[in-house]
A and B are shown apart, each in its own frame.
Chain A
């Protein structure tokens, strides 16, 4: 079975500071890892994914994530946070093939001006 853990319910960061949203995963075989963002009253928007290749992947809106196989982690990062980044962030994992995503519980990011 596959699972995702997001250990923080809430992350607060000052605007302009770097941000990190943590995610660890458990899956048999090679993981396909994803980050999504959800703004209030909206659906999920895809940010970035790791399938294979470089451990550091870059995505939308200046976000990036680092895949660490030994630590089974896929933390989301951004060098300089914006107030508009305030939203709910979900980490997700899937196995290969056309399988559905399994989501973490979500982390609410609040960027304070």
Chain B
């Protein structure tokens, strides 16, 4: 299994500002993903964080709004840019280890509230 640490765990942000969420995995992983969980909702995939190349975004999510970095096999960041109250959500980092049948492991999430 992999242990995933996210920070910040929560933050209150002002409209129009940007915040970067960090995700650290305790072992090298092949795949890392970022999900969003809006209040009372399920998890929606934002993007796949690709090591050494640009992230792959899902429909409805764009790089200018959610820039992602993944400089190595254990670390990734997600930035939420020019925030609005609609961005208030829990953002979760997840990772998959080697092999193609494993479950995803999740961090505790970063709860953002935008005022």
Contact B104 A101 (CB under 8 A): yes
Contact A90 B43 (CB under 8 A): yes
CB proximity of A11 to chain B, nearest CB, Å = 16
Which 7 residue pairs of A and B lie closest in terms of their CB atoms, listed nearest first?
A: A43-B108, A44-B106, A98-B31, A43-B106, A105-B42, A103-B43, A51-B101
Query: Within residues 43 to 59 of chain A, which ones have a CB less than 8 A from any CB in chain B?
Result: 43-46, 49, 51
User: B4, B30, B41: which contacts A98 (Cβ < 8 A)?
Assistant: B30
Q: Give Cα distance in the complex from A96 to B100, angstroms.
A: 6
Interface size classification for chain A: 20 to 34
Contact with A along B40-82 (1 / 0, CB 8 A): 0111010010000000000000000000000000000000000
Contacts of B45 in A (CB 8 A): 100-102
Contact with A along B71-115 (1 / 0, CB 8 A): 000000000000000000000101010001101111111010000
Q: Does A63 contact B (CB under 8 A)?
A: no
Q: Could you list some 28 contacts between A and B, CB below 8 A?
A: A32-B101, A34-B103, A34-B104, A36-B106, A43-B4, A43-B106, A43-B107, A43-B108, A44-B43, A44-B92, A44-B94, A44-B106, A46-B103, A46-B104, A90-B42, A90-B43, A96-B101, A97-B100, A98-B30, A98-B96, A100-B31, A100-B94, A101-B43, A101-B94, A101-B104, A102-B45, A103-B42, A104-B42
